[in-house]
Chains A and B, each alone.
Chain A
Amino acid sequence: MKFDPETNALIREGVESQINPFDLYALEEAVRVKERLQEQGDEATVVAMSMGPQQAEEALREAISLGADSAILLSDRAFRGSDTWATSYALARALLKLEPDIVFCGMQAIDGDTGQVGPGIAVHMDYAQATYVARIESLDKKKMVVRRLLENGYEICSVRLPAVLTVVKEINEPRTPSLRGKMNAKKAQIPVWTAEDIDAPEDKLGFQGSPTQVVKVFSPPHREGGEKWSGEPDELADKLVGLLKELEIV
């Protein structure tokens, strides 16, 4: 079993880096699946993978402290400027070298929050996929049955392995790092893979390989606080009902 955080970790102030919140659920689920398989006497390992600048190594160490057995960082100038197409392409190339049975991704990152990388990885790898997974109902060597969280309910879906899953927050409650995990994280060697290591042609990577292009970045219209009311509850409620009438809600 391998694990893959969707896109690179969120970078804060350009120095520290931490695991994207949704990816914590993906990591936790990967570790739980591994533990279940090990209890049954099967072999399983979890590999954490991220694409990003050198600082993303910190996030990968955090992943090891939370139960990943090892980690790989994709980092190369050639990856810079990747949109979701090129990001999912590079991650897929790297994952194909490892031939994982299941790739776990968070449902989206919190910087770009597109939710496009997980499904993109599956297509690039030609793996089956299930998005918005809220529970793994069952798992055997050939397939898994998952519960997907949709707008109007849950879909129960059987997916043949190997497969890519993107998971929602509801799936589990991530653990905190164990002492042993922290020690493992400290001494882990995290290999850095470049474009050459994943046999990827440069014209499909980074800015060059990205069909989309950001042309303008600006601040959203600023929202100002308006009137503030205080007083007796009854009066306030009357005023609010008046407001709701004015807004044509009632």
Chain B
Amino acid sequence: MAIRVISDKCNGCGLCVKSCPVGAIEVTNKQAVIDLDLCNYCGSCVSACRFRAIVVDIEKQPIENLDQYKGVWVYGEHFKGNIAPVVLELVGIGRQLADDRNTELAVVVLGDGLDHAIEELSGYPVDKIYLYEAPELAQYDGERYSRVLADVIRELKPEIMLAGATTQGRSFMSQVAVRVYTGLTADCTGLAIGKDDGLLYQTRPAYGGNVMATILCPYTRPQMATVRHKVFPISPKRSNGAKPEVVRLNTKPQLFSSRSEILDFIESCEETVNITEADVIVSGGRGIQDPANFALLEELAKTLGGAVGASRAAVDAGWIPYCHQVGQTGKTVCPKLYIACGISGAVQHQAGMSSSETIIAINKDPDAPIFQIADFGIVADCLEIVPLITKKIRAMRGEI
């Protein structure tokens, strides 16, 4: 494996120098020179070069016949038998991928007492539901679940495996991928089948959303990806009366050992907390000035059927709990509407919300960076505007 510059093609333009995230390239005597001690083979320069002067030589070969892997699988994450909303989004994109590969779409569900989950999934265009039911699997346990799913994958050999990029999906899938020795791409925002090679092209943001990378898993199977919530629309319901075939998998209790045990679960007392699932987020920053003022945002969020978010500044000031934080060290969200109130919009905050469908920013400072990405910028004091909007909407609905 090596990366090299073809000297005949390189004219020293320097595009590769700018593209390199680790500063490993210099132009000397009109030739790009790559410092192999710094290079991490990310491929940025290869795609940046307009003259195809940088190549990565690949010597890898698959170790087994990859044609024996067939079918697109979606991991049916559920909470107490209720299918997680992201699963229905994965069924939508999974259906497309399966059709493009001319193969079947299956959902694999692990747990105990899954009748409700089957019923929920049956209304969607899924060909098969693989069920792995055992009392020991009633609750998610990473060690136990990953041993079970890795075993099922080795036996049934799916070509593609998708899961939601939830806290469960991200930790679960990375354990499975290590066990079966295959690739896993986190937090994908784009998935497509390559027309010529039939491979799964997985696109994801990196470096806080400043860079997009397309990733392949050419030599091992399944090709695994976790997908962010709300990136793909929920699958349309099945139009004909057909039902998916339900396949009950044989359980192997010898796989059920685990070194951890769930003792308790404390549901979050605040109902407006799950910002990753909200269609509307009303978010507050330093401009909120006082923790009590978050009540104004809560009222608006409630009126709009949304959730309350916050910038790091507001969380660090102790005005609102961490689970509300949006941004690089908080959550990444992509709601239909994001209303940023008194948030200046540092790049770290933008990294968590810039893929929202519509952004409205309300800020007193006309030069706040948030205005550079907001579709609608309102130069005003959010503490004045927000309660007015709430009042007007409620009046319009005849509530006051």
Q: Residues of A with Cβ closer than 8 Å to B?
A: 11, 13-15, 21-22, 53-54, 77, 80-81, 83-85, 88-89, 110-120, 122-124, 128-132, 145, 148-160, 163, 166, 168-170, 206-208, 210-220, 223-231, 233-234, 236-238, 240-241, 243-244, 247, 249-250
Contact = CB atoms under 8 A, between A and B. Distances in A.
Given A22-B329, A219-B211, A220-B211, A156 B266 contact: yes
Nearest to A128: B259
Nearest to B23: A14
B178 A215 contact: no
Given A131-B142, A151-B274, 19 more contacts: A11-B21, A21-B328, A21-B329, A22-B329, A80-B39, A80-B41, A110-B328, A150-B168, A156-B265, A160-B259, A169-B325, A212-B216, A218-B212, A223-B373, A224-B372, A229-B376, A233-B385, A240-B378, A243-B376
A208 B167 CA distance: 29
B360 interface: yes
A211 B260 contact: no
B248 interface: no
B184 A116 contact: yes
A211 B183 contact: yes
Question: Which of A77, A129, A158, A240 has most B Cβ within 10 Å?
Answer: A240
A157 B263 contact: yes
A179 to B, nearest CB: 25
Contacts of B258: 128
Interface stretch (B129-137, B153-161, B201-209): B201-209
A228 B361 CA distance: 9
A119 B142 contact: yes
Interface in B330-356: 330, 336-337, 354
B305 to A, nearest CB: 8
Interface string B244-283: 0000000000000011111111111000011011001000
Contact of A157 (B60, B208, B260): B260
Most buried by A among B19, B201, B215, B354: B215
A206 B79 CA distance: 37
B266 A153 contact: yes
Nearest to A123: B178
A220 B206 CA distance: 10
A166 B142 CA distance: 13
Contact of A228 (B40, B59, B371): B371
Interface in B367-400: 371-381, 384-385, 388-389, 392-393, 396
